[in-house]
Amino acid sequence: MGHDIPKLREFERLVFFTGAGLSAESGIPTYRGDGGVWGKYDYREYACQRAFDRDPAKVWLWHDERRAAIAKSLPNIAHELIAKIQGQRPGTRVITQNIDGLHQRAGSVDVIELHGSLWRLRCEACGSRSENFDLPLESKHCDCGNWWRPDLVWFEDMLDMPVIEAAVSAIEQCDCLVSIGTSAVVYPAAEMPIIAMRTGALTIEINPEETPLSLLYAHSLRGTATELMALLAG
Ligand code: OAD
């Protein structure tokens, strides 16, 4: 496949569209597949509003433990190359399904977080947000009196409309979309790369395994995020 690999330096308005596989080489487990989070934990107990309403302490403990594990992980070379490309070409946008904040720690800016962030809290009652994620359980309450919950898109939650609009607009304007490490089964995020295919941007998929959308990409590359990003960015 060597000679068929496009070079990212030929594009000005790149979109990096990323999922859990991008952070796998930073030691953060993916959701599906071997060792996946949803193979070990039932989302109905930890990752939906109903679970939170039933037992906020249990849901908070689980998220606090995930955040502590992620705090010990480092961005990998793929996160770093994305940030470097964005630094060189400011038209580059990063759209992620990840909640780990590793793009920002690698230096990417204006990251569009489709599924929210483990580093923010939100109040479901009044819509306020906070970055004071370190509060002890008894103080995890908004000024309006309601519980702070993680500012994530849990199962059965809606995505934020302004966030979807920002993602769609970035994809409509891009000349190249690189999808990295997503299983392409969670909607509506999964279908977003299709917009780039329709507008004529070059589309590239990086994933060690085939996904339901692989055949639609101009280049569907089998390999890991770090090895293939090094190749594409070279
Ligand atoms: P998944 O766990 O569904 O898929 C991870 C993908 O990464 C798979 O297709 C793997 O083949 C691929 N992968 C594994 N190792 C890789 C590596 N080193 N380099 C590149 N790719 C690799 O994760 P997502 O598609 O991100 O939602 O899942 C989408 C959403 O489902 C998540 O955002 C999460 C989950 O429920 C929320 O948290 C709201």
State the distance from the centre of ligand 1 to the C-alpha of 24, rounded, in angstroms: 8
Lining ligand 1 with CB less than 6 A are 19-21, 24-25, 30-33, 36, 97, 99, 115, 152-153, 180-183, 186, 206-209, 211, 224-225
Name the residue range of residue 41's domain: 29-72+118-152
Q: Give yes or no: residues 84 and 198 share one domain.
A: yes
- Ligand 1 atom closest to the CA of 154, numbered from 1: 39
What is the dihedral sign for C-alpha 8, 13, 17, 22?
positive
Q: Give yes or no: residues 40 and 15 share one domain.
A: no
What is the C-alpha to C-alpha distance for residues 69 and 71, in angstroms, rounded to an integer? 5
Domain of 145, CATH number, reads: 3.30.1600.10
- Ligand 1 atom closest to the CA of 182, numbered from 1: 25
pLDDT in tens, 121-133: 999 999 999 999 8
Q: How far is CA 26 from CA 47, 122, 197, in A?
A: 23, 27, 30
Average pLDDT over residues 169-188: 96
Are 120 and 135 spatial neighbours (Cβ–Cβ below 8 Å)?
no
Q: Active site includes 115?
A: yes
| pTM score | 0.97
Q: Give yes or no: residues 97 and 163 share one domain.
A: yes
- From the list 3, 103, 115, 219, the catalytic residue is 115
State the distance from the centre of ligand 1 to the C-alpha of 19, rounded, in angstroms: 5
pLDDT in tens, 111-120: 999 999 999 9
What pairs with residue 193 in β-bridges? none
pLDDT in tens, 77-97: 999 999 999 999 999 999 999
